[in-house]
Each structure stands twice: as structure tokens, then as C-alpha cells.
Amino acid sequence: MTGYARTALLMAALTALFMGLGLLLAGEAGLVIAFALAAAMNLWAWWNSDKAVLQMHGAREVTLATAPDLVGLVHDLADRAGMPRPKVYVIDTDQPNAFATGRDPQNAAVAATRGLLRALSREEVAAVMAHELAHIRNRDTLIMTVTATFAGAISMLANFALFFGGDRDRPMGLVGTLALMILAPLAATLVQLAISRGREYEADRVGAEIVGQPLWLASALQRIEALASRIDNIAAERNPATAHLFIINPLHAHGHDRLFATHPSTANRVAALKAMAAGGGLSRSSVPPAGRRRAPGPWR
């Protein structure tokens, strides 16, 4: 199934869930209104969901003039991968993390947190950015961003249903509203998980090929997980539907609930990368070495 077919199927499933909430809120009139809103939301998500996600996390765009080290690194990696150069953003949070977004490789962006740029070496940052470029090249970003937008909208509508009580005059109205208030966000979360975990392994593999050094990414994942588990990401906690976009889960609320983990085990990802490195066959990276483990001064 192509990336566009997966996206269409996802949109249809989330639209049906959205319409179900509308039906419980206001009966047939609510169903019609929800359908119209879902159609508008699908169109909006296709064109604007990437901008919404970047805005949720307070990301600001940087250029070669304002951040030559980071932007130059991303451009080098994109050229190495034979893909369009994405826009580059920086998020002002201490938690080390990163994500990619955009509807296609021609309209894509990568975002890194200040914490990532401070805590990781140049080699590790290069590996993380290569992982995010892999998501773009694999066309994961559209489906992941659309899912984040819709999951957030479904959760908001479910809370709206609880607050206003839904159509209680209909049979099972109150019970149905309460049940759907709980089950709708859960269903949206499960859809996120279904498309997120497997894509992370593939982005790890392709990202390691882009940067040429699987062990750089393995080291970055271990360092990010160790630090992210102790540092809050306030914007991510306020927008949990976007958690699956990040290279490492930015949330702490469900850190021990493996059923609802948005990412595969870091230990398993590291093991796969080490096996990839042991297998050989990768060309040496063209990314200039930093010359020391820590990043050489502040990233600009």
C-alpha cells in the first residue's frame, strides 16, 4: 500500500470516528455537521497540519544566516540522501528531542530542540537529523502529522461531549456519550501506535544509511532517552497527540505502560543499529567530524 493510500485510509477511519462523536452529541444533525467539519479538517490537515504542529511546539525557523552550523549540516545530509532540502526549525526546550513534518519531501521541515543541540555531539546530531530526513524520504511525515492533528481534534470533541452531555434524550444517550468520550481518544491513540512503531525502525535503518554510521544514531538514542526521561517537555505534555512525531517519546505520563508506548523500545532500536553496524557494507560518512565528543560550542 502506498503512502497516499495509507493516508486516505487513515483519514477515512478518523473521519468515521469524528462523525460518531457528532452523532452522539447532537443526533443526525450532529452527524451531518461532523461530516462537514471532518471534510474541512481533512483538507486543512493536508495543507496546514505541519504548520500547526510546529506552532504547537513554539518552533522557530532558522536559516544559514541565523544558524549556519545546524542548517548547513541538514543541507549536507539532504544532499547526501538525494532529496530536497527541508526547512529547519529550533524548539526552545531543554529536553533533547527532534521531529520531522510536512506533506511531502518538497514541503517538509525538521525540528531540533535546544536541549538536543546542547547535549549531543555533532556526530550524534547528524545521526538524529538523518533519522528525521528518513521519515521525510519514506513519506511518513504526512500520515504522522495528519494523525496528530486528528487525534487532538477527536480528544477535544470527546471532552466537549462530556462537558455538554451529548444527546441524552436518545436511547443510551448518556451512556453512549460517556463510553465514546473514553473510547474515541483511545481509538485515535491506537491508530497512532499502529503507524508509529514500525516506521521508527525503518527510519533508524534509512537514517543510518544516510549518515553512514549506525553507531552514531545508537549513541544518540541512548543519550536522548536518558536525558528526556528527566526533563519535561511542556509543549508536548500539552499536546500529547504529537508524541509519536518525536524520535524519542517526549511524555512521562505513560513511561511504564508498554501497551500505549508511542515508540518501540530504545534498547531494541539500539540492538538493531549495532547489528547493522556489525554487518558492514555502509560507506563512510561525509559529515565532518567534530573532533571531540561534545558539540564544539553553541550551535549557530
> HSE-up of 278 (CA within 13 Å, CB side)?
6
- Other CB atoms within a 10 A radius of the CB of residue 130 amount to 31
Query: Could you count the other beta carbons within 10 Å of the beta carbon of residue 272?
Result: 17
**Catalytic hit among 28, 61, 124, 132:** 132
* Residue count of the chain: 300
Catalytic residue at 202? no
Concatenated DSSP letters of 190-244: HHHHHHHHHHHHHHHHHHHHHHS-HHHHHHHHHHHHHHHTTS--HHHHH-GGGGG
CA distance 59 to 53: 9
Q: Could you tell me the three cell numbers for 137?
A: 524520504
Name the percent of the chain in helix, strand, coil, to the closest 5: 65, 10, 25
| Residues acting as catalytic residues | 132
